[in-house]
Amino acid sequence: MLIDCVSFLDPFVYHGGGEMVTHRLIEIGRHRGHNISITSVRPSRKSLHSKPDITLLIDLFNHGHTFQSLGAWRSFGEKYLERVMARAPFVHLTTAYADVCNLPYLPCSGEACGVCPEKPLALRRKLLLRDFGNACFAAQPLVRRLFEAAALNVFQSPLHKAVTERVLGKGLSNSFILKPTIDTKLFKNHHMPRDIDYLFAGVLCEAKGFNELRERFGHTDIQLIGRVSPGTRVDFGRHIDFVPYSELAVWMNRAKNFVFLPRWPETQGRVVVEAALCGCKIIGNDHIGALSFAFDISDPLQYGDAEGSFWAAVEALI
């Protein structure tokens, strides 16, 4: 098939958790013989087939939240997205909540009510986000059409789907829940001696539950791995700024418990799956999408061909 992939971030240039998922899906799609073009805002790039069979729309509003990034001023533009959506049946894949909320993370936890509880914003943020009202971002007609007119909506977990539906105030029957796309050969339990009682890996910030981490585990020798968000001071446990991704599994195999207590809903929480596969006991909460799957996330046999299942669902649309 000829497939146009339209993504705010080019997953072959950026390497966040969401981009790791979409990069892998595109690789497998190309391996299955599909001709996939990539159009993105960052970096600015347009490459569309003249007559695509399917359009794959990914995290379209995933803009930055700093003036350096230009915020919502750096975007596809509504008219452009309308044209792209009209060219072929489209699959809408989200790895974050950026396509239902224009604020960082999801501060309402999905309890949207038409009027955003965080708005009106301070003047600087109004300018940055081009948002001068108090309405929920998901109330915009374009946002609703992205979900309602999609031939298929792809979510990262049952929780991700449920929270998105709550925000929209509408069930989405045309949906596919993608199982975690994890390298189970890298992330596996080596049955090593475990000399770390508690481990956290991720950005040290309030969205990832930093204050609760301090409150519950500040008295322990918890090992913290990850960069520190501006304005956050690490004054407990042991901290390492960076560990190569390929070495993270070694640390997880040393840990008895992996702690992840996000303040707001996480679409999946990939790092939780990786830790579970390495044999860690998970200390989490109800905001972790990975824990909403109806299977044992520590069992590598549960993952199978997640990418192949996704492409089978897409190919069935034609």
Q: Which DSSP string do the residues of 177-195 spell out, in sequence order? A: EPPP---TTTS--------
Q: Which of helix, strand or coil describes residue 42?
A: strand
Q: Which two tokens stand for residue 166?
A: 């709550």
pLDDT tens-digit readout, 10-66:
999 999 899 999 999 999 999 999 999 999 999 999 999 999 999 999 999 999 999
Q: What is the pLDDT of residue 208?
A: 96
Q: What is the pLDDT of residue 154?
A: 98
| 176 and 98 in a common domain | yes
| 219 and 147 in a common domain | no
Cα–Cα distance for residue pair 9/11, rounded to 1 Å: 6
- Average pLDDT rounded to a whole number, residues 109-133: 91
Query: Residue 261 belongs to a domain with what CATH number?
Result: 3.40.50.2000
Q: Does residue 58 form part of some domain? A: yes
| 44 and 156 in a common domain | yes
Q: What is the pLDDT of residue 114?
A: 83
DSSP letters spanning 207-272: GGTHHHHHHHHTTTT-EEESPBPTT----SSEEES---HHHHHHHHHHEEEEE---SS-BS--HHH
pLDDT tens-digit readout, 227-244:
999 999 999 999 999 999
Q: What is the pLDDT of residue 304?
A: 84
Q: What is the pLDDT of residue 113?
A: 75
| 224 and 139 in a common domain | no
Give the Cα-Cα-Cα angle 196, 279, 276 (nearest 5 degrees).
105
Cα–Cα distance for residue pair 201/259, rounded to 1 Å: 8
Give the chain's domain count.
2
Domain that holds residue 275: 196-302
Q: Does residue 188 form part of some domain? A: no
Q: What is the pLDDT of residue 168?
A: 95
pLDDT tens-digit readout, 256-291:
999 999 999 999 999 999 999 999 999 999 999 999
| 294 and 241 in a common domain | yes
| 260 and 173 in a common domain | no
pLDDT tens-digit readout, 185-211:
999 999 999 999 999 999 999 999 999
pTM of the model: 0.95
| 175 and 30 in a common domain | yes
pLDDT tens-digit readout, 147-192:
999 999 999 999 999 999 999 999 999 999 999 999 999 999 999 9
Q: Indicate the DSSP class of residue 49.
A: -
Query: Residue 93 belongs to a domain with what CATH number?
Result: 3.40.50
Q: Confidence class of residue 1 from pLDDT cuts 50, 70 and 90?
A: very high
| 168 and 128 in a common domain | yes
What's the helix, strand, coil split of the chain in %, to 5? Answer: 30, 20, 50
C-alpha distance from residue 43 to each of 10, 12, 39, 312 (Å): 7, 10, 9, 29
Q: Indicate the DSSP class of residue 284.
A: -
**Is the model's pLDDT at 112 over the cut of 80?**
no
| 310 and 294 in a common domain | no
| 77 and 162 in a common domain | yes
